[in-house]
Structure 1
């Protein structure tokens, strides 16, 4: 309950756990290593609960983790990130099998999940109709877009839109993907595309939050290929 209250700015604050030391670690890359034959990708697209669930459903994705990155303090807590004082972004680190799922297809999911033209808030693209895209052996279902997003409740720098790349190849694909997306939008994309930095895994109660039922105990399917609407609640 406390994390839900803190998400909306309520509840008692305890002393901050922020440690501003270890700047070399903070500014360095994510040195964690994926499983053999796997690769990492990292995305910020609003509240990490819903972002994680959408990637859990992607065929070829073998692991997802909600966490914090791109900040300037060491070992942040959820409350620190929500306060806006740590400058972290809520992100999801995706581990995927490149033989089953391309990085380009993960970028498609990223753009379809949120409105990349809104600054520091979670707005969801409105759905007009469902369609399916097949890239190699990876099949994804998306919604076409109506003009204008649905305004989300989550506001703050931690909800900023971001693609955080691990390799020069990922950077190139991300920039090319952004260019393609900009051509079909009538508003300027503000997504940041930056190297992946130190990843701090979020507290356990945030991991697979919606798949486990969230605050109301209503589990949402993380099955591969599931097209059910994602309800992101506390």
Structure 2
């Protein structure tokens, strides 16, 4: 089967990108922006929170290796879908939890995944399902940010690294082998 794409927003895209770079069957992870009204938004514009965009990742994946359903379950395991317009200390609509389906089938799968996630949480799931009207890649310096800057950037050390360790522990059976 041909590769497919998924577009997801789970807070800071540095965190989400780092998580999905590890997943078996995910062949490409791109940070970007979706869900807003500004054409070709910049990181600075999105950070202000006035464009309506969310920080997202666009995943390219092999559905013969990992299903869209499994990706959504990993997505819900990688962030807190009960926090409205925030993830931890990152606050604003640009950090919302959202799924941007690429097809009616993905939309149906997203609804089912939200229901599954709801059974695992004691607070309501606030993840939205939003139309994917446009997706804009983030600036090049965001690409593989954690891999490049993780050891030197205070945000990466304090936020991304612990999230990634927790994710790797929880989903070890779905991850690519790590370098020793």
Q: Shared fold (TM-score greater than 0.5)?
A: yes
Aligned to 2:30: 65
Cα distance in structure 1, aligned partners of 2:51 and 2:40: 10
Aligned to 1:55: 20
Aligned to 1:224: 176
Q: What count of residue pairs does the alignment treat as equivalent?
A: 162
Give the superposition deviation at 1:108: 1.0
What TM-score, normalized by structure 1, do the two folds share? 0.65
Larger-gyration structure (1/2): 1
Aligned to 2:125: 189
- Residue segments in structure 1 that go unaligned for 5+ positions in a row: 1-35, 123-151, 227-234
Cα distance in structure 2, aligned partners of 1:48 and 1:155: 13
Give the superposition deviation at 1:215: 7.2
1:84-103 to 2 correspondence within 5 Å? 84-103=49-68
Aligned to 2:81: 116
Give the superposition deviation at 1:190: 0.7
Aligned to 1:172: 108
Which one scores higher on RCO, CA 8 angstroms, separation ≥ 6? Answer: 2
Cα distance in structure 1, aligned partners of 2:58 and 2:39: 18
SS at match of 1:64: strand
User: Is the strand fraction higher in 1 or 2?
Assistant: 1
Give the superposition deviation at 1:183: 1.9
Cα distance in structure 2, aligned partners of 1:67 and 1:211: 17
Moved over 6 A (4+): 217-223
1:156 corresponds to which of 92, 105, 113: 92
- Residue segments in structure 2 that go unaligned for 5+ positions in a row: 169-174
1:46 corresponds to which of 11, 14, 20: 11
Give the superposition deviation at 1:177: 1.2
* Post-superposition CA distance 1:168-204 (Å, at most 9, x none): 1111111011112112211111100122221110001
Give the superposition deviation at 1:79: 0.5
Cα distance in structure 2, aligned partners of 1:225 and 1:91: 25
Aligned to 2:39: 74
Cα distance in structure 2, aligned partners of 1:225 and 1:191: 30
Give the superposition deviation at 1:89: 0.3
